[in-house]
Chains A and B, each alone.
Chain A
Amino acid sequence: MSQYAQSSDAAALVSTSPPRRARRKFNVMSIVGTTPMILTAVGVFVICIIFSFIWSFTNSKLFPNFNFVGMDQYNRLWASDRWRISVGNVFLFGVCSLVANMVFGYLLAVFMDQRIKQEDLFRSIFLYPFAMSLVVTGLVWQWMFDPNLGIQSAVRQLGWTDFQFAPLTNQATAIYGVVLGGVWNGVGVTMAILLAGLRGVDAEIWKAAKIDGIPAWRTYLFIVLPMMKGALLTAFILQCTGVVRVFDIVIAMTQGGPGVATQMPAIYVIQHITDRVNVGQGMAAACTMLLPVLAVIVLQGVLQWNAKRKKEKAI
């Protein structure tokens, strides 16, 4: 879209007698049109982040103030068991749910790619969880995992009386219960993206692979998969954003428990800004959450800049 706008602009510049008024109108309109977005972006992302950063060095309670206390909030943050557990959890949750989502998403996509009957129906079924709020998803899974109501009691009533399956009640396994709920919710959309990627691969490739006698599973794994980088990256990034802001599903399933075993950084931030009325501490946690994201952005920038330089050198 932006490429198109640029090229038409360039064409207008080159032409000998440009329709002046029309061009000006276009520019003004584009500026007017994008102003709200620019303002929002600067206002929300830049200014708010700057203020969050400043307040993280103050002892702000309910009302933000400017009584600076140095690194106190950060010291308290990292001295807190709950925060350290939260950070560990978000990484564990992230790795587990990313891997599970990508693997099962791809397997489902391959399954859907087998020209099966009722493909539309199955696609809807797999995509449906994504259309549901994570709170609903979380509650349903919580009930299923509840030892007195859910799967465990159902199986026990069938006769296996010492059957045990209640991941959320044990603090060592609770986080995996949450991962399961999250994957169930997100795997459909990964499948849909990867299926689109699969369908985008040229049919000639498949014919060539068949002629060479390569089995289908190898074609899927070693030929087609590397060709759909775009779809993989899209699905991956979509899942990543979900991981960083994971909040609602944990609240619905465990409220961070048992104990503090499934706490997440986002819950820590929200709880301190709101009910615990300690804005300074909440901001310190929020700024700490921002660090890994910034690191990724900087890394990406450096890599891009490097690639560009190499390209220029090659020319």
Chain B
Amino acid sequence: MKKFAVVAAMATALLGSTAVHAADVEVIHWWTSGGEQAAVSVFAREFDALGEDKWVDTAIAGGENARAATLQRILGGDAPGAAQFNPGRQYEELISGGMLLDLTPLAEKEGWADFIRPASISEACLVDGHWWCVPVNIHSWNWAWASMPAFEKAGVELPTSFDDFLTKAPKLKEAGVIPFAIGGESWQINGAFGVIQTAMLGLADREKILKDKDLELAKSKMADVFTKFREFKQFSDEGSANRNWNDTTNLVVTDQAAMQIMGDWARGEFGVAGEVAGTDYACLALPVEHPTVSTGGDIFLFPKQSDPAVEEAQLKMASMMVNPQVQALFNNAKGSMPIRDDVDMSLADDCMKKGLEIIKDPANIAVDAGRWLSNDTTGQMNDLVAQFWADDSMTVDAAVEQYVNILQTAE
């Protein structure tokens, strides 16, 4: 009898949940560092405040791991309610496979196409006239973070170009500062490489190589990039192997290192540490001579669910994420730029204002390489650049040859 009662209770509970009621929406993301957590809790707080629905947080350290978990769970039929990806080709097969909730009706009602800018950000989610995901921020890789006390200690000015930095680096080293902070993970190394590549090639040639796969141009230009990149290695510290990006940023925060090339998510770490832009640290938009902004970032997609209550909650969450108020709070914590112009930016610090100024001119926008290259190709480039960085016996010619080969076989 008792058993029956339990079963009956469970059955009613299950039945109850099919009616539109409060729902739990599980969100998979990889925001685990201090600044990132501060940002994601803005989303969670705002979503919970909307009503009965609950934000269920599943943070998985490391983008690769989080994306892998999401893909496996969608394929395995246990899809999360929402999942973070980077804009680009990471989820193209989820769209073509019909596994995602179509957000078009909501987007048309709220007029997303009118306020989400620049086009390279909205294009990541707007595929064939349908909205498949929500862009939440614009992250640019093209930044260097410099510790002003570290440069003062060595008695040198902030660098005005990469070459200028390389000439000042020995002085920084003499002063007991790590001139160039970098973490040994392959994506960090390849990211810094990409920034140097953008600076040396210019946006037009970069696009020809990465988008149009111009092999001849790659052969003639990439050798210089690899050569220059190797010059930076002598100014890195020996502890860089396998170091997280935020531990690396922390070296700059604590003035042990002079400079790190890292995307603007690093700004969140300075914020959490209570540092002030312009006095404690400087943000250099790269290349310093002609600053650009790359349009990476994060998007959230919503896998299809069988439960209508969850689906309704998913739409609420999507709407919340583009809300101007939430955009302002979230991006301030995250260090990124909002995906719309009309947010209250009175809280924005100097670095974000700098970025927003640059992004106004479409000529300054470096489209994120992930838009053109599949995960597979990016992964191969990560491997190559990391190997080149670690292995001094690998010649520039060999690296260029492999680089061209990767481009040639890319789809």
* Interface set of A (CB-CB < 8 Å, partner B): 61-63, 76, 79-82, 142, 146-148, 166, 168-169, 171, 174, 253-261, 271-272, 274-278, 281
Contacts and interface: CB of A to CB of B under 8 A. Distances in A.
Contacts of A256: 186
B226 interface: no
Contacts of A276: 375-376, 379
Given A61-B93, A146-B239, A278 B376 contact: yes
A82 B383 contact: yes
Interface string B367-404: 00000001110011001101111110000000000100
A142 B237 CA distance: 16
A169 B389 contact: no
B241 interface: yes
B403 to A, nearest CB: 12
B263 interface: no
Contact of A142 (B242, B376, B380): B242
Contacts of A168: 241-242
Given A147-B238, A277-B374, A62 B389 contact: no
A253 B237 CA distance: 18
Contact of B241 (A76, A169, A260, A274): A169
Interface centre among B239, B241, B379, B386 (most CB of A within 10 A): B241
A255 B185 contact: yes
A140 to B, nearest CB: 14
B399 to A, nearest CB: 10
Contacts of B90: 277
- CB-based closest 4 A-B pairs: A259-B390, A274-B68, A258-B390, A62-B93
B390 A275 contact: no
Contact of A277 (B186, B375, B380, B389): B375
9 contacts: A81-B402, A82-B387, A171-B390, A171-B391, A259-B388, A275-B64, A277-B90, A277-B93, A277-B374
Nearest to A64: B75
B93 A257 contact: no
A105 to B, nearest CB: 29
Given A166-B238, A276-B379, A261 B93 contact: no
A257 B241 contact: yes
Contacts of B68: 274-275
Contact of A62 (B65, B71, B240): B71
A80 B384 CA distance: 10
Interface in B42-89: 64-65, 67-68, 71-72, 75
Contact of B387 (A63, A254, A260, A274): A260
Given A259-B186, A259-B391, 6 more contacts: A62-B71, A62-B94, A76-B409, A171-B390, A275-B67, A277-B71
Nearest to A171: B390
Contact of B376 (A81, A166, A169, A281): A281
Given A168-B241, A168-B242, A253-B242, A271 B379 contact: yes
Contacts of A169: 238-241
